[in-house]
């Protein structure tokens, strides 16, 4: 068996159904020969995004694999890898030959270059090491905090015979349990806290720990907010839900975060950045994570526990037992502030103005899809800020939040991967005119491969988030203005498409678009939208 054939068989053993790829790569035919379908993208950054969507939408139960040619192919992949690394998603990257196989400049060395944006990077440099390196790759992606891995496959190695027999079994997901002494200390602090808030991250999702999180929050009567990547970890129709945060968030979330005395980070890195819940100064921090490097990196930590989020929550529930924290009716306070917040935003959510208000479109989508069978994601910038607070996610997997790096265009690949991994779900991405300008040609990838996604484009004719840094350029030269008819572009690429200018026209077109996607045809609805920079910030 040749090395490329052995790698393909390993992928098959690991449950890989699709090889996301951009030729030329020796692995593509080897995978196709055993029934792993190649999905050829139009650009490498989108290819990394598709692989991301497979892994992220299944929380690592399926691993997305992206294989590309060496040299320019892997160079173009770096941005996608950086996004995946920033969001801690397990994706396997397999580049081919380096140009010239030279180790001297200006040759691009992917192993060394990708080390800052992968958990591990290596070269398959010997046919006898294939099983060892593949086992290590899948173990590294799955164990502890997840993340991407790069394995370089030179074509001369791929074409060699692998010595010995094929000997591979799928790598298990290993979990670590917390120290009982740490659990005892955390439980004591939480029972004495006056206004604790649980800050939940995507570690809950990867651990499958939503039932335990709900039980624990109810046990100690603590409201729960989630990060953008953790949205869905706690059902947002629950009386203790504070919703999800990026820069924007819910009014009740901001209120409880401000008045909390103790913040419990659960399955979250508590990374301090512009796209995470902003923890006010002076809060006492308790941190539960599966990565020791997270603890104390941003905030002084009063107590901590290392371990899988599900095992940590089970241990805390057992430790607290029947003991209860003395508290007022927290859920009544959450409900009252939430009602006032939704009433305040009702004019936006029901607006009939033109150009169209983006919040009206988002509300109309929620009112006309089965949210329990829908996966929605966003682009970075305004679509993310507009969607995260108001889209009510009821179960894990219904929302793919992303964006510590926040590169424009990642959402298109992400939703294609989600649809491949979840073919029976309605998959929707919301993007702006700037982001479709970066990756819009890959709508043809969805058309060619019959990936029935729905794309909503907010065309407000401007780079919204960039204007603050272009004051003179905007005033004198309109440097942030954009133009184009994206429905026409999508139609030219083979997608079902429409362009709407009045909000009342949206729902009828939405129903037609959803019918198209159910038949395997991607759909694009372009909404001529207002320049709306109003976000939910308190």
Looking up residue 22, the CATH number of its domain turns out to be 3.40.50.970
Residues 184 and 148 in one domain: no
Supply the pLDDT for residue 473.
93
CA-based R_g, the chain, Å: 24
| pLDDT of res. 371 | 94
Residue 343 lies in a domain: no
Residue 535: is its pLDDT beyond 90? yes
Number of domains in the chain: 3
- Structural domain ending residue among the three candidates 285, 305, 333: 333
What is residue 278's three-state secondary structure?
Answer: coil
State the pLDDT at residue 470: 85
> For residue 81, is it within any domain?
yes
- Whether 495 is covered by a domain: the verdict is yes
- Does 165 fall in a domain? no
Mean pLDDT of 353-372: 97
Mean pLDDT, all residues of the chain: 95
Do residue 400 and residue 326 come from a single domain?
no
Same domain, 356 and 328: no
Is residue 133 domain-shared with residue 226, that is, in the same domain?
no
Would you state the pLDDT for residue 257?
A: 96
Last residue of a domain, one of 333, 363, 397: 333
Burial 69-89 (b: 16+ CB within 10 A, else e): bbbebbbbbbbbbbbbbbbbb
Give the C-alpha distances (Å, rounded to integers) separating 534 from 248, 353, 385, 403, 530: 10, 15, 9, 20, 11
Q: How confident is the model at residue 354 (pLDDT cuts 50, 70, 90)?
A: very high
Q: Are residues 184 and 151 in the same domain?
A: no
Q: Which CATH number goes with the domain that contains 315?
A: 3.40.50.1220
Q: Do 119 and 148 fall into the same domain?
A: yes
pLDDT score at 82: 96
pLDDT at 101: 55
Query: In this predicted model, what pLDDT tens digit does every residue of 72-125 receive, in sequence order?
Result: 999 999 999 999 999 999 999 999 987 655 566 777 899 999 999 999 999 999
Residue 123 maps to a domain: yes
Q: Answer yes or no: is 533 within a domain.
A: no
- Give per-residue pLDDT as tens, 192-231: 999 999 999 999 999 999 999 999 999 999 999 999 999 9
pLDDT, position 102? 59
CA distance 139 to 515: 40
Asked if residue 390 and residue 316 are part of one domain, the reply reads: no
537 domain residue, yes or no: no
Query: Do residues 359 and 499 share a domain?
Result: yes
Note down the domain range covering 279: 180-333
Q: Are residues 208 and 324 in the same domain?
A: yes
User: Do 377 and 284 lie in a common domain?
Assistant: no
Over residues 143-155, the pLDDT tens digits come to: 999 999 999 999 8
What percentage of the chain reaches a pLDDT higher than 90?
Answer: 90
| In-domain check, residue 43 | yes
323 and 208 in one domain? yes
> Is 148 in the same domain as 185?
no
Rounded mean pLDDT, 241-269: 96
Query: Tell me, what's the pLDDT at 107?
Result: 79
Question: Do the beta carbons of residue 55 and residue 63 sit within 8 Å?
Answer: yes
Residue 325 pLDDT > 80: no
């Amino acid at each position: 068996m040749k090395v490329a054939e052995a790698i393909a068989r390993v992928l098959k053993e690991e449950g890989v159904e699709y090889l996301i790829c951009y030729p030329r790569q020796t692995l593509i035919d080897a995978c196709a020969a055993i029934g792993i379908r190649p999905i050829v993208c139009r650009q490498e950054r989108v290819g990394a995004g598709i692989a991301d969507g497979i892994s992220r939408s299944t929380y690592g139960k399926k691993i997305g694999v992206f294989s590309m040619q060496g040299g320019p192919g892997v160079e173009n992949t770096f941005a996608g890898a950086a996004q995946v690394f920033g969001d801690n998603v397990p994706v396997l990257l397999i580049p081919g030959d380096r140009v010239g196989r030279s180790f001297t400049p200006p040759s691009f060395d992917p192993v060394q270059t990708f080390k800052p944006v992968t958990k591990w990077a290596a070269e398959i440099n010997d046919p006898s090491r294939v099983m060892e390196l593949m086992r290590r790759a899948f173990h590294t992606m799955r164990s502890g905090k997840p993340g991407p891995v790069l394995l370089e496959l030179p074509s001369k190695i791929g074409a060699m015979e692998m010595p010995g027999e094929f000997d591979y079994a799928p790598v298990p997901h290993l979990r670590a349990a917390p120290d009982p002494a740490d659990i005892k200390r955390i439980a004591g602090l939480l029972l004495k806290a006056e206004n604790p808030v649980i800050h939940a991250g995507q570690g809950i999702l990867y651990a499958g720990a939503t039932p335990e999180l709900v039980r624990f929050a109810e046990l100690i009567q603590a409201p729960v907010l989630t990060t953008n990547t953790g949205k869905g970890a706690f059902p947002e129709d629950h009386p203790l839900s504070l919703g999800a945060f990026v820069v924007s968030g819910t009014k009740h979330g901001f209120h409880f975060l401000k008045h909390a005395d103790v913040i419990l980070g659960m399955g979250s890195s508590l990374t301090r950045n512009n796209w995470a819940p902003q923890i006010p100064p002076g809060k006492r921090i308790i941190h539960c994570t599966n990565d020791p490097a997270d603890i104390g990196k941003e905030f002084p930590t009063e107590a901590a526990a290392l371990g899988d989020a599900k095992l940590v929550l089970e241990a805390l529930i057992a430790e607290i037992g029947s003991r209860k924290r003395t508290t007022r009716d927290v859920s009544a306070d959450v409900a009252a502030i939430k009602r006032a917040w939704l009433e305040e935003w009702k004019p936006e959510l029901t607006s009939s103005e033109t150009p169209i208000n983006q919040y009206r479109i988002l509300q109309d989508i929620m009112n006309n899809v089965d949210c329990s069978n829908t996966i929605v994601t966003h682009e970075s910038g305004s679509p993310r800020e507009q969607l995260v607070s108001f889209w009510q996610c009821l179960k894990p997997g219904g929302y793919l939040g992303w964006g510590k790096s926040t590169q424009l265009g990642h959402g298109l690949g992400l939703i294609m991967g989600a649809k491949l991994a979840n073919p029976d779900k309605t998959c929707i991405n919301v993007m702006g005119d700037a982001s479709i300008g970066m990756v819009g040609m890959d709508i043809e990838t969805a058309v060619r491969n019959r990936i029935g996604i729905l794309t909503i484009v907010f065309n407000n004719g401007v780079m919204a988030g960039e204007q603050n840094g272009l004051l003179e350029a905007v005033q004198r030269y309109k440097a942030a203005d954009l133009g184009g008819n994206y429905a026409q572009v999508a139609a030219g690429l083979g997608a079902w498409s429409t362009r709407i200018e009045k909000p009342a026209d949206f729902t009828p077109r939405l129903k037609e678009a959803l019918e198209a996607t159910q038949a395997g045809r991607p759909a694009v609805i372009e909404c001529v939208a207002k320049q709306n920079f109003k976000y939910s910030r308190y």
